[in-house]
Copies of this chain bind each other. A is one copy, B any other.
Amino acid sequence: MIKKFLTTEVMSVFFILGTTVSFAADTLSESEVKYAKILRDKALKSDLAYSILESLTTEVGPRMAGTPGDERGVIWAEKKFKELGFDKVYKEPVTFDRWTRGIEQAEIISPFPQNIMITALGNSIGTGEEGIRAPIVHFETFDDLTKAEAGDVKGKIVFISYKMGKTRDGSDYGKAVQARSKGASVAGEKGAKAIVIRSIGTDSDRLPHTGNMNYLENVPKIPAAAMSNPDADLLLNMLKRGSVELGLKMTSSPGKPYTSYNVIGEIKGSEKPEEVIVIGGHLDSWDLGTGAVDDGAGVAITMAAAKLIAEGKRPKRTIRVVLWAAEEIGLIGARAYAKAHKDEIKQHITGAESDFGAGPIWSFDWSSTNEEEPIVDQLADILKPLGVEKGKAKATGGPDLWPLRALGMSTFSLRQDGTDYFDLHHTANDTLDKVDPIHLAQNVAVYTVFAYSVAQVDGDFGFDNKY
């Protein structure tokens, strides 16, 4: 999952909330409810998602946008959809500038020489082979940096030490991540030589968290990196004793344009095949781990849910599983999809993306002006035995649905417990062993119920004509 500079297009999502029309959806018949419950219980016993995830992490592993792993991921996804018997499997091009990581090293030069563990932030420029050496200027928060005098920052390496708080909904990410996404431009504008932030993560492992950053136009570009939480603690202890000089070497660099693909598999609807329910996750990952949690889990959960539905009676609408490309570097695949499909936006009935790890789903939100919708209550009733509560009329659908949401499409948010998500997020520790197969199956059960129900029920989930 990314959060970054929000473009106008994406920001508009937040402003249209409240203008969405209410559901025209009918409710499920008694037999449809009964069938949804059968699907739910079947999914809960299935290990299909875990087996898909084991396959992706073992046979592909890291798949950062523009790398050989990305290419292998696309081939894997097409093959897997076909193996699972999806009715239609295809891919759509997504073009972006690739970025390469290169070497990344940092050391405290004085007063107490030690190496520290850093990783370059995605999109960062390098330092050059000769590296950078400069004193550290410390800010507790991104806000403090914005308020700093340029004279205090010029010629130094900025260190922001804010530690992200741990919550079920990841609610502190928005505050914490500013240091990563915008810190380099703010520091660069004030004349800093580089920025090295405390990782945006809630763990205490010696593994730094990468993630995307962006440069503002007309501001000097400076290298940007993150250090692990224990290294940030160490640096703070040194700074208590006086000034600290840091050495930094990064050979990261942007590269030439690269074309990857959104990979799509469909389970064709029995009555209204042209109407689609969009579920999915993003196929790309960062390069440090094997992308099991971010977002192999989303890929596996949604592929498995559609496959389990396909094994039984086809619902009326088509279920389209979209595995988005290049999410981590700025929702590039999601934007390409929205652009390619904008003329069919009204056939995109509703959808949900799974992109918050592999923790159990504990609540679901919908997008409507109404806090009461009969189909929502029906869903809540079917999902209750899975430990899922009825949430609120405030869904945004997951990052890769934002561009579609901005075009007026309805979304649901099937909300996962993300308490441990930011322990692993964008680190080398994002590996298969972190995924609990029981939690993964619970996710599949929820997606199965959701996708079947919204594909089956007559009427729609609201559409905002303004967009």
Contact = CB atoms under 8 A, between A and B. Distances in A.
A187 B429 CA distance: 30
Contact of A427 (B114, B206, B238, B428): B206
A83 interface: no
A308 interface: no
A58 interface: yes
A432 interface: yes
A64 to B, nearest CB: 12
Q: For this complex, into which size category does the number of interface residues on chain A fall?
A: 20 to 34
B114 A61 contact: yes
B60 A112 contact: yes
Interface in A388-447: 427-429, 431-434
A367 to B, nearest CB: 38
B58 A112 contact: yes
Contact of A289 (B59, B68, B206, B207): B206
Contact of A205 (B57, B234, B429, B432): B429
Contacts of A58: 112, 234, 237-238, 241
A113 to B, nearest CB: 7
Given A113-B68, A433-B229, A428 B234 contact: no
A230 interface: yes
Nearest to A204: B433
A62 interface: yes
Contacts of A290: 114, 234
Interface string A198-215: 000000111100000000
Nearest to A237: B58
A233 interface: yes
Nearest to A60: B112
A54 interface: yes
Interface in A202-260: 204-207, 229-230, 233-234, 237-238, 241
A382 interface: no
A429 B241 contact: no
A229 B230 CA distance: 20
Contact of A206 (B59, B115, B241, B428): B428
A204 B434 contact: yes
Contacts of A429: 205-206, 230
A235 to B, nearest CB: 9
A132 interface: no
Chain B CB count within 10 A is highest, among A62, A289, A431, for A431
Contact of A59 (B61, B112, B432): B112
A310 B429 CA distance: 46
A431 B230 contact: yes
B60 A432 contact: no
A207 B431 CA distance: 12
A234 B428 CA distance: 13
A432 B54 contact: no
Contact of A207 (B61, B62, B114, B205): B205
A433 B117 CA distance: 15
A54 B61 CA distance: 38
B114 A62 contact: yes
A405 to B, nearest CB: 35
A226 to B, nearest CB: 16
27 contacts: A57-B234, A57-B237, A58-B112, A58-B241, A59-B112, A59-B241, A60-B112, A61-B112, A61-B113, A61-B234, A62-B114, A62-B115, A114-B290, A117-B428, A204-B433, A204-B434, A205-B207, A205-B429, A206-B289, A206-B428, A206-B431, A207-B207, A229-B433, A230-B429, A233-B431, A234-B432, A237-B432
Q: Which 5 A-B pairs have the closest CB atoms?
A: A230-B431, A61-B114, A206-B428, A58-B237, A206-B429
Interface of A: 54, 57-62, 68, 112-115, 117, 204-207, 229-230, 233-234, 237-238, 241, 289-290, 427-429, 431-434
Given A57-B234, A204-B433, 13 more contacts: A58-B112, A58-B237, A58-B241, A61-B113, A117-B428, A205-B429, A206-B289, A206-B427, A206-B428, A206-B431, A230-B429, A234-B432, A237-B432
